[in-house]
Structure 1
Amino acid sequence: MARRMEWAARSEHLRGIPRKIVIATVGAFSKTVSSFLNTTTVHNSDTLLRLLRSRPPTVPLITVSNHMSTLDDPFLWGFKGFPIFDAKLARWVLAAEDICFRNDFYSYIFRVGKCIPITRGGGIYQEHMNEALERLNNGEWLHTFPEGKVYQDDTPIRRLKWGTASLIVRAPVTPIVLPIVHHGFQEVMPEKFMFGRRPLLPLCNKKIDIIIGDPIEFDLPKMKQMAISNSHNGPTFPTMGWPSTCDGLDEAAQRCLYTEISDQIRSALERLRCFGKQILKS
């Protein structure tokens, strides 16, 4: 598909100048909205900033968060102290193809801005998941919204899609996985503001809380062995034709493994959400 524009996502595209312009412009807009037009409080920001700047160069980072508005990314990174003008440190993010890549102009801007198109409902082995793996293989930072869609009501974290878990397993170097929960962006960009539509511009004078957790520890070798064992003893499901992983996990074992990893991520996000509610009450 022409609108996927892989060439625009390359760091050497026009010597990286368009990327620097887009990242800086979007970053400045995000900083204005999150830090000046609204009040943003960030808990444990040092952990994220340390991982961005000081993790080993070959170790990738995956951040995962809840999804409360269409502008969570980039507003999530507009808090004070975040390096908004550094295009090298900027995240890659999985972005819905039907929203962000609707025409050539959008496609170019989002591609230059380090977005990877994902077809919702296209499965974990769709074409551009390989691009996400390539970014992780290069030791880069990838952000995902594993709930898979925007939820503006403040309820427990929903069952997560398996895409993020599959990236963790399939990445050549196991990524650091950092959970983040936020609250308030649903008021900055409500889905139903006037006549059932979003506002044309972000709203002001709202309170935003961003709670950054600690990295989630995964004992992948042990989890893989348990997944193989459980897949042999558990119920069978219709297969979807997934290929085996490089270490020999068949589809049934992958399903067990991705479910367990997703459940651990969901639990970590839910703990942060509950912690955030306590903060809001205090």
Structure 2
Amino acid sequence: MRQKPIPTEVAAGTKSATSLMRWAGKVDHLGGIPRALVITAVGAFAKLFTSFLNSTHVYNAETLHHLVHSRSPGRPLITVSNHMSTLDDPLMWGFKGFPTMNAKLARWVLAAEDICFKNAFYSYLFRLGKCIPITRGGGIYQENMNEALDVLTNGGWVQLHTFPEGKICQESVPIRRLKWGTASLIARAPVTPLVLPIVHCGFEKVMPEKYKFDRRPLFPLINRNIKIIVGEPLEFDIQSLRQKAKTMPCEASSGSLGWPNSSPDGLSVGAQRWLYANISDQIRNVMEKLRCFGMAAKNLHV
């Protein structure tokens, strides 16, 4: 049974969906032509830099292809990855054979409101690119998370891509503690999504944070080596996890400000925190194993 959206009053400080041009993100906006043009242009850009101007090797690409093209009807998909540059998305989808320029199959992605939606022009373009604005620091129950839930509810051929680490890290270090936004979407979706972990490296060299004069380059760099490791899909037994969460001795904390006192399925704030932490830890553990595999496979070829 679908959970009711969290009331928008708990999402203090967020803008309304109307002010962020949600209408421009609808599939029937102007017959879908503007979306198709933007997705095609961005996809061509990703193909150019990922497939032709840099050397890219993908491990287990067939799993990603299968889930995008042939998973069960109505089963939503969430792909999660580490975040190494401002251009991880869309460049990571530009490898050979992936339908990067297909507007119907293109992923939805959570995007920072203060960067991607800072004026009307950017808002319109990023909406056409299937981006959902997220206020950094606005919490997991902010208004636009309900929009992300709507995407998952529709299932079909869309994916909702997230960077659960929450910020860019260009150092070769273990996967950091994941934010709980992704876990909340997994737990709250009416049909539990498949979760596909992906770890990559090399994009930090294509778009380094500090290049000349400690600034990013104007354009992506070329002749770099990129490696993308696709894991196997994770399936969560959310009902069992909810029941276990209710029995755990967990207390709410000041970090839960803005959360509803209980979720639509009766979980206390403390139980919600345990549930989201448990899901996040499981995802992080798999991502870290993929990262270690990528570090070991220095001569990986597909």
TM-score when normalising by structure 2? 0.90
Which amino acid counterpart does residue 129 of structure 1 have in structure 2?
Answer: M
Partner residue in 1 for 2:247: 229
Residues 15 and 272 (structure 1 numbering): CA distance in 2 closer, same or farther, change over 3 Å?
A: same
Question: Are residues 1:46 and 2:65 paired?
Answer: no
Pick aligned residue for 2:49 from 33, 41, 48: 33
Take 1:151 and 1:174, find their aligned partners in 2: how far apart are those partners? Answer: 29
Matched, 1:164 2:182: yes
Alignment gaps of 5+ in structure 2:
1-14
Unaligned runs of 5+ in 1: none
Q: What SS class does the counterpart of residue 181 from structure 1 fall into?
A: strand
Per-residue Cα deviation, 1:152-178 (whole angstroms, up to 9, x for no partner): 001000000000000000000000000
- Which aligned pairs between 1:53-202 and structure 2 lie closer than 5 A? 53-139=69-155, 140-202=158-220
Computed over aligned residues only, the root mean square deviation of the Cα atoms, in angstroms, reads 1.3
Equivalent residue number for residue 279 of structure 2 = 261
How far does residue 237 in structure 1 lie from its aligned partner after superposition? Answer: 2.2
Partner of 2:101, secondary structure, is coil
Once residues 206 and 134 of structure 2 are traced to their aligned partners in structure 1, the CA distance between those partners, rounded to angstroms, is 25
The CA deviation string for residues 171-227 of structure 1, in whole angstroms up to 9 with x for no partner, is 000000000000000000000001111000000000000000001132222211221
Q: Offset at 1:246? A: 2.5
- For the Cα contact (< 8 Å) 1:3–1:101, is it kept in 2? no
Deviation at 1:105, TM superposition (A): 1.2
Distance in 1 between the 2:148 and 2:230 partners? 23
* TM-score, with structure 1 as normaliser: 0.96
Distance 1:102 1:93 in 2: 17
The answer to whether the Cα contact below 8 Å between 1:3 and 1:107 also exists between their aligned partners in 2 is no
Greater shift in the superposed pair: 186-195 or 235-244: 235-244
What secondary structure sits across from 2:298 in the alignment? helix
2:4 counterpart residue number = none
* 2:22 match: 6
More helix by share: 1
Q: Tell me the matched-pair count.
A: 280
Amino acid at match of 1:53: H
Equivalents in 2 of 1:271, 1:256: separation in Å?
A: 23
